[in-house]
Amino acid sequence: MAADVLVIGAGVAGMKASLLLASAGRRVHLIENSSIIGGRLIRCEDIFPAMECATCMVSPMQQDVLRNDLINVVTLGDILSIEGSIGNFRVKIRKRASCVDPVACIGCAECWNACPVEINNEFEENLSKRKAISIPCAGALPNVPWIDRENCLRWNGDENCSLCAEACVFAAVDYSEVDSEFEITVSNIILSTGYQPTHGEVFEKYQWGICPGVFTASEFERYYSSNGPTSGELVTKDGLKPESAAIIVHACGTGSHSNINTMYSLKFLHYLMEKLPDIRPVVFLDASYSPDALEDRHHLKWRNVEADVILYTQIPEVNKVGDGKSLSITCSTAEGSFQAETDLLVLGTSMLPSTGTSKFIKLLGIECSDEGYVTKPEPGLSSVMTTVPGIFAAGCTGGPLDIASSVTEAAAAVGRVLADANRGEK
């Protein structure tokens, strides 16, 4: 049998690459840092462009990955070191203890209902709380909780707490489980560690963190989601139903990320129209943004949307009105100045390299762009090669992409791995 392959990151790109490699008979080690697989796609309710249900799209893929005998899925996994070169990479991996037996657990929620610790839920962009034993959201896969030992009372001064174990009639909670380490040898590595959204703190100028009606794109995605913090009710962060809504599409300024902003901002218009049908949203677009139609095939759609589209010549200024329940947005346009008031403002925020992407660029000595994404040495010939032979990058590891392109890159990376094997570099 040909050599094993390592795939790092179980988002849509990593899952697709693993399934394709397994279907070609290759054994795959799919290492995922978090407790679940699916990546950022599972934070979405609907998927642009066809507005498909994200769960319906991703759930069969997640289950195929988890059931495939050739795919060794390691959640709560950390890569400790990678040595060697193409055909013979030696990789040390640590599997953090979840302290829950995945075979005995049925995901019934009794344990986290019993846990007294409440902390911000990072998966929900800190918009809701989770327990020290938890799954990130309803429907997450694997549907098995884990104990976050950094916040669990047992590891922080109260070793007698055993409320979660007492609540579990299946005896699935096991405090004695410890981290384990193992080593593998692989011929190739596919990096699919993805992106992270820009954090809201940099958007104070738009009153983020000050006014409850201001959302980053990732926050808004969770607020709309039926398994999100408000079960899909579109309200401001203090629970009020908005009577007006606006989107600033290029809140980070224009640049290479703008096609994704366009894509999901159009989706957000659908969300607004569906949940708040009496509102006509105002959309703020940078007037200087004239993308290459091949790069951004969605841009022209702004001409036909049911919204007031304002082309600004200077970045909009956002101020709070009164107690901050409402916001005033002012900008210059070619026709003069424009001003609107809104209760809800969504910021089209950029996608940045994930901390995992930055970590592996450094660890593996891969060249990267000024923005911190993996550089492709031959962009015209291959979009998945990195500057290190035998290591490929798929999905948003190489820059912001939509799901279709991430999946295409995963397939291209697998093609390269199989081609290496045919050349004897396995």
Ligand X SMILES: Cc1cc2nc3c(=O)[nH]c(=O)nc-3n(C[C@H](O)[C@H](O)[C@H](O)COP(=O)(O)OP(=O)(O)OC[C@H]3O[C@@H](n4cnc5c(N)ncnc54)[C@H](O)[C@@H]3O)c2cc1C
Nearer to ligand X by Cβ, of 353 and 390: the residue is 353
Q: Rule CB under 6 A: is residue 132 a binding residue for ligand SF4? A: yes
300 binds, among ligand SF4, ligand X, none (CB under 5 to 8 A by kind): none
SS3 track for the chain: CCCCEEEECCCHHHHHHHHHHHHCCCCEEEECCCCCCCHHHHHCCEECCCCEEHHHHHHHHHHHHHHCCCEEEECCEEEEEEEEECCEEEEEEEECCCCECCCCCCCCCHHHHHCCCEEECHHHCCCCEEECEECCCCCCCCCCCEECCCCCHHHCCCCCCCHHHHHCCCCCECCCCCCEEEEEEECEEEECCCEEECCHHHHHHHCCCCCCCEEEHHHHHHHHCCCCCCCCCCCCCCCCCCCCEEEECCCCCCCCCHHHHHHHHHHHHHHHHHHCCCCCCEEEEECCCCCCCCCCCCHHHHHHCCCEEEEECCCCEEEEECCCCEEEEEEEECCEEEEEEECEEEECCCEEECHHHHHHHHHHCCCECCCCCECCCCCCCCCCECCCCCEEECHHHHCCCCHHHHHHHHHHHHHHHHHHHHCCCC
109 binds, among ligand SF4, ligand X, none (CB under 5 to 8 A by kind): ligand SF4
* Beta pairing partners, 317: 330
User: In this chain, which of 170, 227, 276, 297 binds ligand SF4, going by CB under 6 A?
Assistant: 170
Q: Rule CB under 6 A: is residue 161 a binding residue for ligand SF4? A: yes
Buried b / exposed e along 152-172 (16+ C-beta atoms within 10 A)? bbbbeeeeebebbbebbeeeb
Binding footprint of ligand X, residue count (CB under 6 A): 39
Nearer to ligand SF4 by Cβ, of 167 and 309: the residue is 167
Q: Rule CB under 6 A: is residue 76 a binding residue for ligand SF4? A: no
Nearer to ligand SF4 by Cβ, of 98 and 408: the residue is 98
Q: Choose the stretch contacting ligand SF4; rule: CB under 6 A; options: 106-114, 262-270, 299-307, 344-352.
A: 106-114
398 binds, among ligand X, ligand SF4, none (CB under 5 to 8 A by kind): none
Q: Choose the stretch contacting ligand X; rule: CB under 6 A; options: 199-207, 295-303, 332-340, 393-401.
A: 393-401
Contact 247, 359 (CB under 8 A): no
402 binds, among ligand SF4, ligand X, none (CB under 5 to 8 A by kind): ligand X
The nearest distance, CB 373 to ligand X, in angstroms, is: 11
Binding footprint of ligand SF4, residue count (CB under 6 A): 27
Q: Choose the stretch contacting ligand SF4; rule: CB under 6 A; options: 9-17, 154-162, 225-233, 414-422.
A: 154-162
228 binds, among ligand SF4, ligand X, none (CB under 5 to 8 A by kind): none
Nearer to ligand SF4 by Cβ, of 80 and 106: the residue is 106
Query: Per-residue contact track with ligand X, 48 to 87, x per CB under 6 A?
Result: x---------------------------------------
217 binds, among ligand X, ligand SF4, none (CB under 5 to 8 A by kind): ligand X
132 binds, among ligand SF4, ligand X, none (CB under 5 to 8 A by kind): ligand SF4
User: Using omega within 30 degrees of 0 as the cis cutoff, is the peptide bond preceding 142 cis?
Assistant: yes
User: In this chain, which of 3, 19, 20, 31 binds ligand X, going by CB under 6 A?
Assistant: 31
Chain positions contacting ligand X, by CB under 6 A: 8-14, 31-34, 39-41, 44, 47-48, 192-195, 197, 217-218, 221, 260, 264, 267, 351, 354, 356, 359, 395-396, 401-404, 406
Binding site for ligand SF4 (CB under 6 A): 100, 105-111, 114-115, 117, 132-133, 145, 147, 152-154, 161-164, 167-168, 170, 172-173
